[in-house]
Amino acid sequence: MSDERQGFGGPIGTSKRSGWCEGSSCSPLLSKTYQAHPVRLHIQIIICGRNSPLVLSTNQINLTNSLLTAKMKEVTIGIDIGGTNTKYGFVDRDGNLLGDSSMSTTGHEKIEEYIEAVVRAIAELESHITEEIKLVGIGIGAPNANYYTGTIEHAPNLRWKGVIPLVKLFQQHYDVPITITNDANAAAIGEQIYGGAKGMDNFVIITLGTGVGSGFIVNGQLVYGHDGFAGEFGHVIAVRGGRMCTCGRKGCVETYAAARGLVLTVQEELAGSQFDSDLRHIHAEDLTPKLIFDAAERGDEVAKSAFEYTGKVLGESLADLVAYFSPEAIFVFGGVAKAGKWIMDPTHRHMEASMLPIYQNKVKLIPSHLPDSDAAILGASALAWKELG
Ligand SMILES: [Zn+2]
């Protein structure tokens, strides 16, 4: 790394004499003075024959580590762009979050204004980080993000329509590699680098939230497909002619296994049964996976039945997915997955029952190991680290 990139102006003078080591076998290897506002730094590296083989001397020893760069902590920035909020944070190579924050995604008419706001917010966050850091890359998770082209394409939940050259626009502010993909793909890489998939070369992550997303790691590599959009498990048709999906087709996995799908199933169960369920007294708009989970914990038959049906649809579709990729494990992440055994048990049972015998009892179905609150930032940063190698 050059001196200039650390914020130092470069050497402004050199001298030959250390002044503190008189050994006849000692010789100056480096002796330079740097101007680093507001301090002036003089550094000497001497080969010393009497004591240690290398002696370092400086009048500002606390600055030598950053000057030599070897001690500077390399970080990437993970940015997760959601329809409502944008989360961002600085992450080191071990997955430690050095600082994170979030801002509203909405309220910026032009994409350029939004990006300038993100850049300002990141600079503000960086000013609070006390460690000496060196930015080496940026990873971005965003809806309909294309890894190959660096663009967001026709994202339904963002106000900026059409094809947006997101990487190109961010690159105007940062001189490090910037990589982009959708949030579920980023979660897959996050699971691979920081989570429960360390050492796994073949696994899938399914995110069950507002929608259903998925990321596929095959032979160690994320599958992007020929155009960058591979791995849309949420829009695989689970029930032919089934529920209407936001994508315009009917019966997609998402219409059953996303939060809204679970709520719809509860409503159908309530309409088709006479069970005295607490859920009957909650307005449809207010029903959430958490409330359905709480009801199941209390033994509510409607809630338990809704999870059983959701698990059936999801498990049968996962059995088909296994036939394509033969994954070692399927990680499940997101709001619906927080229902724990209520969703995992029926999903696993129906997956096993529907699978080709050669796959049975081999595929692990496990909750994601990524921390819930930081997963999006970690996933995006992991994308950057993977790109850096
Ligand atoms: Zn769909």
260 CA distance to ligand 1 middle (Å):
13
DSSP state of 230: -
Number of residues assigned to the chain: 389
- Residues of the domain holding 381: 73-191+375-388
Sorted by sequence, the CB contacts under 8 Å of residue 282 that are 6+ apart come out as 291
Query: What is the SS3 assignment for 253?
Result: coil
CA dihedral 173, 179, 181, 183 (to 10 degrees): -70
Among 268, 204, 260, smallest CA distance to 232 is for 204
15 CA distance to ligand 1 middle (Å):
70
Listed residues 37, 53, 68: the one ending a domain: 68
Q: Do 358 and 77 touch, CB atoms closer than 8 A? A: no
230 CA distance to ligand 1 middle (Å):
14
Confidence at residue 274, expressed as pLDDT on a 0 to 100 scale: 83
Phi, psi (deg, nearest 5) at residue 71: -90, -10
Asked if residue 167 and residue 23 are part of one domain, the reply reads no
Asked if residue 349 and residue 284 are part of one domain, the reply reads yes
336 CA distance to ligand 1 middle (Å):
18
Share of the chain above pLDDT 90, in %: 70
265 CA distance to ligand 1 middle (Å):
17
282 CA distance to ligand 1 middle (Å):
27
Q: Do 229 and 149 touch, CB atoms closer than 8 A? A: no
CA distance 292 to 273: 16
Q: Which residue has the higher pLDDT, 292 or 39?
A: 292
30 CA distance to ligand 1 middle (Å):
65
Q: Looking at the predicted structure, is the pLDDT value of residue 16 above 80?
A: no
Apex 375 CA angle, 344 and 348, nearest 5: 10
Asked if residue 258 and residue 158 are part of one domain, the reply reads no
Asked if residue 54 and residue 40 are part of one domain, the reply reads yes
pTM (predicted TM-score): 0.78
The predicted model gives 352-373 an average pLDDT of 93
CB neighbour class for 310 (10 Å; exposed up to 12, middle 13-18, buried from 19): buried
The predicted model gives 73-83 an average pLDDT of 95
198 CA distance to ligand 1 middle (Å):
31
272 CA distance to ligand 1 middle (Å):
25
> Residue 333 forms beta bridges with which residues?
207
Confidence at residue 372, expressed as pLDDT on a 0 to 100 scale: 77
212 CA distance to ligand 1 middle (Å):
9
Asked if residue 270 and residue 247 are part of one domain, the reply reads yes
Asked if residue 26 and residue 79 are part of one domain, the reply reads no
261 CA distance to ligand 1 middle (Å):
12
67 CA distance to ligand 1 middle (Å):
53
Total number of domains constituting the chain: 3
Asked if residue 316 and residue 173 are part of one domain, the reply reads no
Asked if residue 281 and residue 267 are part of one domain, the reply reads yes
255 CA distance to ligand 1 middle (Å):
7
Phi, psi (deg, nearest 5) at residue 3: -65, -35
Asked if residue 217 and residue 253 are part of one domain, the reply reads yes
145 CA distance to ligand 1 middle (Å):
17
181 CA distance to ligand 1 middle (Å):
19
Q: What is the CATH number of the domain that holds 359?
A: 3.30.420.40
317 CA distance to ligand 1 middle (Å):
14
381 CA distance to ligand 1 middle (Å):
28
Q: Do 221 and 211 touch, CB atoms closer than 8 A? A: no
Confidence at residue 69, expressed as pLDDT on a 0 to 100 scale: 52
Share of the chain above pLDDT 70, in %: 82
Q: Looking at the predicted structure, is the pLDDT value of residue 11 above 50?
A: no
248 CA distance to ligand 1 middle (Å):
6
Query: What is the SS3 assignment for 336?
Result: helix
Confidence at residue 193, expressed as pLDDT on a 0 to 100 scale: 92
* CB count in 10 Å sphere of residue 344: 19
Task: Dump pLDDT digits (tens) for 221-247.
Answer: 999 999 999 999 999 999 999 999 999
Asked if residue 208 and residue 101 are part of one domain, the reply reads no
CA distance 15 to 32: 7
* Structure-block tokens of residue 11: 């050497």
The predicted model gives 85-93 an average pLDDT of 95
Asked if residue 116 and residue 33 are part of one domain, the reply reads no
Asked if residue 239 and residue 157 are part of one domain, the reply reads no
Q: Looking at the predicted structure, is the pLDDT value of residue 217 above 50?
A: yes
Sorted by sequence, the CB contacts under 8 Å of residue 47 that are 6+ apart come out as 25, 26, 27, 28, 29, 53, 54, 55
H or E element that contains 137: strand 133-141
42 CA distance to ligand 1 middle (Å):
64
CA distance 264 to 268: 6
Confidence at residue 35, expressed as pLDDT on a 0 to 100 scale: 43
Listed residues 52, 68, 84: the one ending a domain: 68
The predicted model gives 5-26 an average pLDDT of 40
Confidence at residue 273, expressed as pLDDT on a 0 to 100 scale: 84
CA distance 268 to 306: 9
The predicted model gives 50-55 an average pLDDT of 44
236 CA distance to ligand 1 middle (Å):
7
For residue 38, is the peptide bond before it cis, meaning its omega torsion is within 30 degrees of 0? yes
Task: Dump pLDDT digits (tens) for 167-204.
Answer: 999 999 999 999 999 989 999 999 999 999 999 999 99
320 CA distance to ligand 1 middle (Å):
17
CA distance 75 to 245: 40
